[in-house]
Amino acid sequence: MSDTKEGSLKEAQVPGSSSSGEHPPASNIDAAWDFLDANRGVEDVHASEAELKRLRRKIDWHIVPIMFCCYTMQFLDKVILNYAAVMGIHAELKLQGNDFSNVATFLFVALLVFEIPNTYFLQKVPAAKWLGANVILWGVATACGAAATGYASLLVSRIFLGIFEATIAPSLMLISSQWYTKSEAAPRFSFWYLGLGLGQILGGAISYGFQHISPTAQLSGWRVMFVVLGCVTVCIGLWTFFLLPDTPMKAPWLSEREKVVLLKHVSVNQTGIQNRKFRWSEIAEALLDPQLYLLLLSVVLLSVSSGVVTTYSATLIRGIILNPKRAALMNMPSGAVSIFFTLFVGFAIRKQSNRWIWIIACIIPAIIGGALMSFLPSTNKAGVLAGIYLVNAVVAPLAVFYNWTAANFGGATKRAFAAAVLSGSFSIGNIIGPQTFQARDAPGYRPAKLAVMGTQAGCAFTTVCLFGYYYWQNKKRGAVNANEDEYLSQEAWAGMTDRQNKKFRYSY
């Protein structure tokens, strides 16, 4: 449903009452309800649009930079292996055959496996604290990669990096959904997701800089790069742990009235703020929900190309530009393409909704890029480079799928589980992506390039199927939506899933 219409159709109901005449069980009530119930004396909670705009800006400046830095470092800490490939890591660690592809793959295997316990911890531990602790630990794992002496030790350091990075996407999805309505959240997802594009730009510049370390130095350039970025990540983790509020109710920089106004505003999401009760029934419901599998398949298909971008873009560029220093710099425009398309879809969704259309609008350039990479001769350097850059348009739809997940899964446990599944499906795609690069296909890697085209076409098809499913579900439910005036009703914070809550409407 178009997000711009949320809350426009209201039920005739007295605020604070329940439409069914019954109250939900106390164990199901969201933490936001306890706060609102204790602050019923707050006066004048009807904020103007200008006041809401000021409040959003205040929230943006306090939480979005932290999330942006976390996402930038998670990408950088993964992608530095990409740059190490043109900085001599193969020769120094005596990597042979598919050793490099396996190191890239097993990071995502670890990330995938640890999404399962991550669902539980996100339900039991405040997402902000859990995120901060894991950022610190993956910074340590990144720095420890500098001590690798061969294939096995490099593999171990990257596996631990995957373990601790498993929480990044689910945590940021849940945190973002606490502070904004569904339509407001779309550009904010894009803002922190811009860290990926900035990581691509910084990665090229950082690699270029560290390649100038003298070959006679005690530590080679790629080792110093691992240590420096690991230490920066630890600092950002400490910032996250101590300064990112667990919930809007615990934000020290919001007044009590601002907290009530914010909770009233976001109550139309019908997804709650925080609920510590872990419910196996919601896991079972999620496993029977068609939208979960359509989202999973879409992200897997999308992420095959993401795996190519993350691990092998510098290698592909070096195949046509033999100088490794120049190859690192020539990868920087990929980040600019990622940033452009990420901002494009974020603001387009805020203005026009229709997430499925904007996903396909990004997939089309990526397919064109895959075709340029696959079918142009390597002598056409400008055309092949343009293809590599255009493939980066495919990173933007992932932020949209994350936003879709946070918007369309009700119930705290179900939403946390869906977020973990989506993050895990991203890992599956990134496991497949590097494995399409086999040593026997060097230097052209044609099968991998063709995989980019095929998987993107498949993602476009599943996206259309998702739109059809959401449209059908909303039509079955009718036209009645939740509205802000019901924010003092226990039903607004009852912790129901999207299937249980008849006022829930899917965003498409």
Q: For 376-436, give the DSSP string.
A: S-TT-HHHHHHHHHHHGGGGHHHHHHHHHHHHH--SHHHHHHHHHHHHHHHHHHHHHHHHT
**pTM of the prediction?**
0.83
For residue 484, name the pLDDT band (cuts at 50, 70, 90): low
Nearest Cα residue to 138 out of 162, 105, 170:
162
**What is the average pLDDT across 245-268?**
91
**What is the average pLDDT across 195-221?**
78
Q: Does domain 28-493 have CATH number 1.20.1250.20?
A: yes
pLDDT, tens digit, for every residue of 424-435? Answer: 898 888 777 766
**What is the average pLDDT across 217-228?**
85
Number of C-beta neighbours around residue 212 at 10 A = 8
Amino acid identity, position 487: Y
pLDDT value, residue 17: 37
- Rounded Cα distance between 503 and 508, Å, is 16
Residues 6+ apart with CB under 8 A from 382: none
Whether the CA torsion 310, 312, 315, 321 is positive or negative: it is negative
Residue corresponding to tokens 């069980």: 25
pLDDT value, residue 313: 63
CB 345 within 8 A of CB 400: yes
Domain ranges of the chain: 28-493
Q: What does the block give as tokens for 70?
A: 């976390």
Whether the CA torsion 216, 221, 222, 224 is positive or negative: it is positive
pLDDT, tens digit, for every residue of 132-146? Answer: 999 999 999 999 999
pLDDT, tens digit, for every residue of 436-464? Answer: 766 666 666 667 667 777 888 899 999 99
CB 28 within 8 A of CB 491: no
pLDDT, tens digit, for every residue of 38-92? Answer: 888 777 778 888 999 999 999 999 999 999 999 999 988 888 887 787 788 888 8
Evaluate if residue 498 carries a pLDDT over 50. Answer: yes
- Rounded Cα distance between 484 and 461, Å, is 36
pLDDT value, residue 314: 62
Residue corresponding to tokens 């106390």: 26
Give, rounded to a whole angstrom, the gap between the first and last alpha carbons of the chain. Answer: 5
Evaluate if residue 127 carries a pLDDT over 80. Answer: yes
- Rounded Cα distance between 322 and 192, Å, is 34
Pick 323 or 78 by higher pLDDT: 78
Cis peptide before 443 (omega within 30 of 0): yes
CB 431 within 8 A of CB 112: yes
pLDDT value, residue 11: 34
pLDDT value, residue 492: 66
DSSP strands (E only) in 164-265: none
pLDDT value, residue 5: 40
pLDDT, tens digit, for every residue of 352-381? Answer: 778 888 899 889 988 888 788 777 776 787
- Rounded Cα distance between 336 and 171, Å, is 26
